[in-house]
Structure formats: structure tokens, C-alpha cells
Structure 1
Amino acid sequence: MAKDPSFSNQKVWKPELYKIQLEAPTPKAIMCEALNEAQPDFYGCEYHGTMNHKDCDAILCDKPDGSYLIRQSPGAEDYWTLSLRFCRKTKHFKIFYTMDKGHFLRENFKKFDSVHDLVADGLVDFYMRMHAGPIIQQMMCQTKNCYEQSPYMTLNRRKLRALSDELRKSSKLSMLNDNSPSMNASETDCYNIVAKTNDDILPEIYEKNHVFKTHTFKGLNWCEFCANFLWGFTSQGVKCEDCSFVAHIKCSELVPSKCVPDLKRLRGIFGVDLTTLVTAHKCKIPFIVRKCVEEVERHGMLQEGIYRISGFADEIEALKMALDKDGEKADMSALAYSNINVISGVLKLYLRLLPVPLVTFHAYPSFIQSMTYKMVGEQVISLREAVKQLPVAHFNCLKYILQHLNRIASHHTFNKMNEPNLATVFAPTLIATPPHMTDLSQEINMLTAMITHCKAIFL
């Protein structure tokens, strides 16, 4: 019988790390007996005034590990010195304090409300490095080259399998509902991948980066990648803002880009990453894009100046708030919003607020490069390659929007919005252009070509 890779880590939590933290020395402040008039307000009796390191060593030399005092080194102006006893040696550190940040050793590092907490965290860190080094090294070697054999897969197998099943279902449905007679190579490849057997935990086409932020955890917590204890008292690790995945800072660098967003953690839909939104809602096109396009095509195809004329700002804001609050249940019908320009304005606002535009920063140069060709056929071929650089969610949404704009342009004799007019309106919204750029002629020409030839580009 083949051995399941997950069995190589049956002991998914190593309690030794927690035990080692408990054995670390605790802070023991050495109090200054003399009255010090220059004592800063944010230090207590552990502040000993101006003192050189030899005098400090004389005080701490016979003290137990964890003993510490605060002093001012001779000549120091913008910092104080923390002198700490550890491993029968005295260590000296520059220490800083500001009202808004608290106590810290250096910028862009952990901040503490008190010196006691800073020392406690440092002692744990020193002790873990000294006594837990082999365990840490082992768990890093264990997961560095193959995340499938890390506890990551053991702990997240059910979650990843559910996502895999959803992706297969949505892909099969989209293929059945696709009215086009043929699929391009990219779509065919995606279909072949998601059609694999259920033995595959996750199709390779799914990719979304985690949004890790340094986090201070309360109580006992464990890394979801290596399944080991998160040690320390503050900023023990990182947490993904989209899926709540918890990891050591070093382990987070090894976690695959397969974030599975939690719908409960999404605050509305505006300003949310596109891949995050479609994954959380288990859809191919965001519902707001689909509903806006349907309403515009139902009531605004012949509306003169559609997408060029703005709706009332207060009504657009009201609909935005309703969509953020109620999601797909929000009423966007003509009875609720008789002015179709409100619907078109909300669609443009949604696309404009995407953190990463439909034409991403990474793919932008390839799109612009395509317009250096003089022949239309060469431009189409180049654009066909450029769209393949987009993430799947961006590819699908851009295709949907451009096909819609192509249908709008086909009624330009009534609505006065031909391809160049629509490109002028949408270029700043769909394309990742630098904020200071005012001449968008290249982008407008490129988008005009994409609207005109969208069927040939997306096949």
C-alpha cells in the first residue's frame, strides 16, 4: 500500500516548542535606589540615569538571567540603552520610545507598551534560538521543498478539496453555457486541468496570493503551515486578511499562492481584489458586473451618451452602499433606478476602485507593445498573447466587459458611442496607467482595437 505523504507528519504539533518557551527566563527589573530627577516619564525605577557599560556590568554581573536596567549611555541623545543579563553575559541594546508607537529596538520591528513586555519577548526569542534551533531547523527542512508533505495539506485538505470541486463545477457549467462555437487554447487548457479526477486536491489554474499582515495573537496559537507553536508575546507571526491563514513569518514565505478567501471576511465588494471576490462568491464574473451589464443592455443600449453621461452622484453612492450591504439582493431594477446612467456609473466606479485594474500592471507593457505593429492582423495576434498574461479572473471579466462594449458600439447610430468613444471613457478605468499620466492616446487606441476585434482576440 502506498504511503500517504500526510502520514509523514502525524505529530502535527510539537509541544516541545511551547515547553521551551515556558522555560525561558522572565524579566527582573533592577531598581535604582537613588532619586533620579532626569528620569523620563515613560520609565520607572528601572531607569538608572547616565551610566557607562562598565558600571552597568558591575551591577548586573552577579544577577540571574532576565535581570535588566535602563540607562543613558554617555553622549547618547536620541536613544536610551537596555542592559540585559542572559546566558551569564550582559547584553546592551539601543532602545527607543515614542508616544504613538511605544517602546521598540528599531523601526519596522515589534512595538511594546512597556519595557517589561519588550524584555519578556526578547528573552523568549534568545532562549528559543539557543534551545529550539534543531527543532526549528528540522521543521523548515521538512516543509521547504514540498508543501504537499507539510502539515499544511493535512490541516487544509478538506478546504482545498471543496474549492477544487467548486472550480470543476463552475468550469463545466461555463463550458456548457458558452454560446461561442469554439474555445481558445487558454480555455481548452483550463478545461482539461479542471476535468481531472477527484484525486487532485487543487487544480493548478487557481492562484491567489495571501495578504499576510504581522499579527499579535492572544493565547496559544499554531502555524497552519508547519503546525508548530507560535512563540513570543507580540507579533508572533502573520495572518492573511482574506482567509485568516496563520503562519510563522518564515513559513509564510513558503506557503503556496492558493488563498481561499472567506466570504464572511469580505467587507462589501467595492475595492476588493477581483480574484478574491470571484473565489469567495464561487463565480466566474462578479455579480455586480453581470447585473450592471444586463440592466444596461436591457434599458440603455439606445440611450444617447451611455457610459459618457454621468448619473446623479448621490444615487450612485446610494446604490454602491446597497451593493456593499446587501450584495446580489440589492435592487438594481428600472423601478428602483429609472436613470440608466446610475447603473452605468456604478459599473465604472466598481472597475475604477479595483486594487488591481483589469489590465494588470504586470501585463500592461505587453498590451501597449501590441500597438507598435502597423497591420491590424499583427495587433490582434499580439493582443491575443497579451490577454493570456492576465490572471484567470481578470481574463474572464475583461472578455465579458469588452464583448458588452462591442454590442454597445454596434448601436452607435442611436447611442452615439462608437468604439473610440467607449475606449476614451473606459481607458482610465480598465488599464493600469500611472496616476500622473495625462496623455492616454496609446491606451485609447489599444482599447479601441480590443473592443472592435474582441471576438478575434478572445476567440
Structure 2
Amino acid sequence: MDVAARNGVNKPPESPVGPVWKPDLYKLQQEAPKPRGIPCLRCIEKPPYYGDEYHGRLSHLQAAELLLEDGDFVVRLSGPQENPITTLSLRFRNKVNHYRLYYDGQHYVLEKRFDSVRELVADGLVTMHIEAEAGPYIQLMCDVRAYERSPAYMTLSRFKRRTKPLLKDDDDSSSVILYDKPHKFRVHNFKGLNWCEFCSNFMWGFTAQGVKCEDCGFSAHVKCSEKLPPDCCPELKSVRSVFGVDLTAFVRSRRTTRPFVVDKCVQEIEARGLHVEGIYRISGFADEMDSLRMALEKDGENADISASVHDNINVVAGILKQYFRLLPIPLLTYEVHPFLIKAVQLPTLKDQIRATKETLTSLPPAHYNTLKFLMAHLAKVDEHQAVNKMSSFNLSTVFAPTLMPPCNSKISSSIPDMSGEINCINLLILYNKNIFE
């Protein structure tokens, strides 16, 4: 697996509105072995903070005989009788590794602390798997990307252009904003899925995945944070939580069923865009889309996206597509993607609908509810295809790369075949009532 190539070490800079998050390390985390504690079948006295994985005194050879598959682990005592050492024995890549295990209210081997040994092992397996598969790339990833091409810099630059000037150069009529404040980084336990705002890569693990600035909210790998200039802007903390945020984390933080961006844009498009020829196919002007995106980031649900402010409905439609394109995990996740492709290849329409319906039950609730709402909306657009020229197939062609980006992100000079993905979206639009009943 050439993760360095897949993550674009030698790629040209991404488009400011193109996909910026790199999912490969997330995929590796999903592929990591799962922890499986081997229960002790002997009747022994064990500390209350260990479970069935505690075996008491056990030699490393005896432990190795118990650990048959990657992810298997036991907790045992080793060393001298008068001063025994608590040891975690874990099998990974057909090799048994032994670690000194500590407990002071939480379990730890190094600096990370966990409430249970199973959580510690799960995090360790992820780290070992990612380092084994992508070690060289991890060493390079924060060095190969210029800060000026990072998602955070793009947000900061837009914010600067829209903020009242704080400093004016007397020798020049132009105004500039200077931020010369260092970030206040602290190690952070991120909830849900998070991406580094410097290198755009997934922050793997289940605790202490990276650092976060207490003042502006900038999130990054520890190594990446060392590359940042002193441009902390505390005012950004309230506007960096809409685009490019994990969908599940976003709706949980807002306590909503769907992202408000989706609701607002769909409502506006259905009010004045269903009869517009080429809706979703024709792009809006970049500067107008930048303006609308910043308004949504700054004002949230109170942002005004009406015709009085944004008269070009293609700008609103473009922002909705951009929202889905910037999701770290696509609306139709990498896990369900191949099963949906298989579903539309079944011989009968009845089987396709049944298999698609079953597959979608594996989606996280936030993804499922948003998809259901979006497909019902696109079905309404399809109903007006005689006027807007956007049939379900045309809509599927537009949305497939956004909702179902290719699972394999290896760089290729050829255009990927999206026919399977287009058929999936087309089926969801045409038979959304049957699939989501």
C-alpha cells in the first residue's frame, strides 16, 4: 500500500473548494486488528480493575501459547515473586509483544491513559497498524504541505478579507490585518473523527490524538503544530465548526437531526430553484460562494441566504454540493460504498432496492437522516426535469463524485469509472420512498 502516493505527497495544490481531507489514515484505522482479551479459565484472585483478561502469574512462553490471532491479549504477572511486574502481552503481525502495564486510577503503558485495558489495546493496535503501513509517510506528511495550502489558512485568509482592518499602513492606502499571536496548544482528547487542519490527514487513535489551540480552536497533530506561524486568531473559534467537520460530530454538537446548512440550502432551492435550467450543474461565481460560505460559518442558522442577498440560486446549490464535498467522511461512507455498488448490480429491481435498503441501515444515523432528506429533495428536482433539464440521471452524475468519492484514492492519469456510483444515486433518487420508508 503506497500511502504516500495515495495522499498526494507529490500532488499539486488542491483547489480551495476541492476535497481537502485525506481519508487514507482513517481507512487504515478501520482495517486495524480488533482487541480480544483471552479469558483466564483458572480460579485466581485478581485486582478489581482488571477483567477476565487477567491471568495472574504467567510466563511469556505460556502467554504466547494463548495468543493465536492478531489483537489477542492477556494481562499477567512476571518477574520476581517478591516484586512482580504487571505485563500486557499482545499479538500483532504474528509476533507477541510485551509491555509493562501501569495503573493509577487509569491504565497506561506510555503517556496515554485509558479507563480499561481493552481501550488501551484498541488504541495501541491502531497506532501499530498505521505506523506499520504508513510509517514513512507519517514522517513526511507535515513537511510536504505548505501552510498556505492548508484548510485552516484558507479559512483564516477569508476571515482576514472580511474583517474590519486592525492596522493601516500610513504609506499605503491599503489596509492589512496582522496576527502575531502564538497558538496555545494543549493535548486534546477528540470526540468522534477529526482531521489535522495543517496536513489534512486523519488524527488516528481514541485518545490524545493531537493538540488543540485553546484560543482559536486549531486542531493538529503534535508534529504538525510545531510548523505553524504565530497567527492565532481567537475570533475564528466561533466560525471554524461548519464546513469540513465530521457529520456525526456536527449534529451531536448542535443537537440536530441534520446539518442546518443542508436544511437552509434545500429550502431555498425548492423555493426558487426547481424551475431553473441546469440547477446543480451550473456553478456559481467563486467570490459569491466564498461570501455565502463565510456567512454560514459566521452566522450559522441565522445567515441570510435569501434572494435579496444571494440572488443567484446556483450559488446556493453550489454551496450545498461544496458542503458534502468537504465532509471528511462522505455522506455514503467508505464502509457502505462497495456494498451499494454490489446492490445495483443485482439482476432485478426488487433485489436492488432490497439490498440497498439493507445496506443503508449500516450508515451512522446522522448520515442516514441527511441522505434520506437529500434524496427526497433531489426527487423533487427530478419531477421538474421538463423545465430544469435535470433528470435523476443528470443529478446522479453531478452528485456521485461528491456523495460517493472513489474508495481507492491512488493517483491515476485516467478518469475513474463512476458508472456504479451514478447508478446507486439514481436508484436512491427514483425509489427513495421505497428505500427510506
TM-score scaled by length of structure 2: 0.48
TM-score scaled by length of structure 1: 0.46
Larger Rg: 1
Q: Which has the higher contact order (CA 8 A, sep 6+)?
A: 2
